[in-house]
A and B are shown apart, each in its own frame.
Chain A
Amino acid sequence: MTIHNLYIFSRTGVLLHYAEWNRQNKSGITNEEESKLMYGMLFSIKSFVNKISPLDPKEGFLYYKTSKYTLHYLETPTGLKFVLNTDNQSQNVRELLQQLYSQVYLEYVVKNPICPMNEPIQSELFKLKVDELMKKSPIFLNRSL
């Protein structure tokens, strides 16, 4: 089990934070372009899922899976988006994302008056805590594939 990388987007699509741990394949484009591409795709998937759903979509888009990796998606009622790529075996990633939101984002960004909201996060402590949470999680198993 491994965690590949993490994106946090604001409601308006600004990339607030990006971190990677185990990513072998680089996209070959700049981070900025990649985040725009990512956000665009998520936006499309979200509206696609909501439109095509034969029943009330409730939470809507949760994750997608390819043969190699799974992309987990958590959107809060305020529109904050947490995107985590893991391998296909990982369990309880949704729980991890919720922890990331309530124990790290809320504590170290929302409660930090010097940290402006809806702008890329500069706080070193936040980055440290994200890293800590991910490495503490049982999903994170740093082994070379």
Chain B
Amino acid sequence: MKQQSNETKFFFGSFGEADECLFDYLHAEVVNYVIGQNSIVKDGDEDISKLEWMGFAVGYRVIERLTREWVRFKDELDMIKFICTDFWSSLYQKQIDNLKTNHHGTYVLQDNAFRLLSNISGNEQYLKESPRLLAFTCGLLRGSLANLGIVSVVKAEISCLPSCKFHVEVQRV
């Protein structure tokens, strides 16, 4: 019996991984489903706006629960900081590695080992396919900011896997 429990540990690495990989596998399937749905590819770009909207809806709801025990945020930067630390670590088990801002509504969030990309490639391979893995997260950011009262445009940039940057541009009315 003891032997068996050892073996289980071997196969699954660490305990409590099941909940993490559930999201990974579900996300992967959602991505593959959406990609498979649109057979028309225009100018070599895949239509990933559906994924982005899914992320938006999820982010909009998630932020509601994550902030329930928080006091009100001071300003915009405070909210972005919350996104970089608590929000990110509750979703991806790590914090954003680098945050840059021009103090005029543009923020660059850099993750050097993004969870959804870290198992894909360590070099240029799959660079073309990787935007589809980021669309959901872009929407997630946009949705959560929207529920905090910030209307924004979020874009992702990948130069070398598995690191990526999210550009958040706040739209001032």
Contact = CB atoms under 8 A, between A and B. Distances in A.
Interface of A: 95, 98-99, 101-103, 106-108, 111-114, 123-125, 128
B11 A113 contact: no
Interface string B124-135: 011001000100
B123 A124 contact: yes
Interface residues of B, number: 22
Contacts, number: 45
Interface stretch (B24-32, B49-57, B139-147, B152-160): B24-32
Nearest to B162: A125
B114 to A, nearest CB: 13
A111 B21 contact: yes
Contact of A102 (B13, B28, B133): B13
B29 to A, nearest CB: 8
Contacts of A107: 119
Given A102-B10, A111-B25, A123-B121, 11 more contacts: A98-B10, A102-B12, A102-B13, A103-B13, A111-B24, A113-B28, A114-B129, A123-B120, A124-B122, A125-B120, A125-B122
A101 B125 contact: no
Contacts of A124: 121-123, 125
Contacts of B27: 113
Nearest to B122: A125
B122 A114 contact: no
A17 to B, nearest CB: 15
B11 A123 contact: no
Contacts of A128: 122
Contacts of A95: 10
